[in-house]
Amino acid sequence: MAKMAAAAAALAREGREDAFRRLFRFYRRRDLRGGPDLRGVIDFSAAGDQVVSSDLSISSVSDQDAYRAGLRPVSQWKAYGLDGYPGFIFISNPFLPGCQRHWVKQCLKLYPQKPNVCNLDMHMAAEETIDLWGQSQEHLRSKGSSKREPRSLLEKLRWVTLGYHYNWDTKKYSADHYTPFPSDLAFLSEQVAAACGFQGFQAEAGILNYYHFDSSLGIHVDESELDHSQPLLSFSFGQSSIFLLGGLKRDEAPTAMFMHSGDIMVMSGFSRLLYHAVPRVLPNPEGTALPSCLEQAFLSDFPDRSVIEHCSEEDWQICTKYLQTSRINMTIRQVLAVGQSFPDESRREKEWDATSESCYHQEDGEVKRHKLNTDS
């Protein structure tokens, strides 16, 4: 009798779930590991009814500037849209051979450094988080396949914020919590935005998310930026994932799609404020430890003033170990319109609470407080 009551209660809860949460839970289910039913997930590398071609502004980015950012000429990019999602653009890996390595290395070695902010700052003293790369490289280099091995600090990294640092408690940016935005990442973002018709885009804030196979990104909308006329840019590296793009309300069923290493998503216009989430990280569909695009060697030379730096074999060995079980995502935003400034707020609202743990990552088997707009 008790089992029947429990089953009935579960069905009642299921009936109250919004359409987005139901699909999020479907792809999140643990029994998918043995043989996930991914037939409903869009793969932009294959033609589909909902997938349409997307026009780019080829003349807005010179081949020289594309090369400087480690990108192929825009005329060679493969860009797609989705019926029913105006303003959404999916660009299938436009990076030149070897150039993804630069961004992976930056996300692991450079961008987590101070004065940038990361989740580990909330649990550790400042002097303990100064050099996450240096403290983790030997551990990663000798890391085996056992899940019981302790994780290095880099493997405990969940997010890093750049530029205007997002306050996970107030869900706001502020003028007094800012550090210089990385110039190489700003240049990359500006070229991609221009190619999508957004000339003059200014990269002012970035949130880097670090995923493992047991990680997910909860259901949310990126609405904290004061200027929503500018796009949200998303770059993925490493293992693949399922991305869910929904509607303006959570009772609208989302569309599921794959994101592979090197893929870029642009959310603009109508699609800028849609609900979205990442319920699952998946092993490289090619069946190898790393996607083949990450195994490609660097070009022998780069144009003058290129932002791409050669990644040494020693550094790439560490990155490779990390990426075998991980995915990195960079989301870049313009926070303010040209000439706009932050509104005056009370001192309490402006304060940065360094003890905050509110974030939107969640992992299996761990009780965590840092859930911002999760699937609750």
Amino acid found at 215: S
Question: Element (H or E) spanning 140, and its range?
Answer: helix 132-141
User: CB-hemisphere CA count at 13 Å for 302?
Assistant: 21
Cβ-contact 77, 67 below 8 angstroms: no
C-beta of residue 156 within 8 angstroms of C-beta of residue 120: yes
- Whether 276 has a binding-site annotation, put simply, is yes
Residues 6+ apart with CB under 8 A from 60: 74, 194, 195, 197, 199
220 in a labelled binding site: yes
E strand residue ranges, the chain? 51-53, 78-82, 88-92, 117-118, 159-163, 205-212, 215-220, 232-238, 240-245, 255-259, 264-267, 276-282, 326-333, 361-363
What's the N-to-C CA distance of the chain in angstroms? 28
Cβ density class 238-267: b for 16+ within 10 Å, e for less: bbbbbbbbbbeebeeebbbbbbbbbbbbbb
Classify 85 as helix, strand or coil.
Answer: coil
- Report whether 212 belongs to an annotated binding site: no
Q: What is the C-alpha separation between 133 and 138, in angstroms, rounded?
A: 9
Preceding amide of 115 cis, omega within 30: yes
User: Which amino acid is residue 245, in one-letter code?
Assistant: L
Structure tokens at 220: 């949310």
> Which residues line the annotated binding site?
220, 222, 276
> Which residues line the annotated binding site for Fe cation?
220, 222, 276
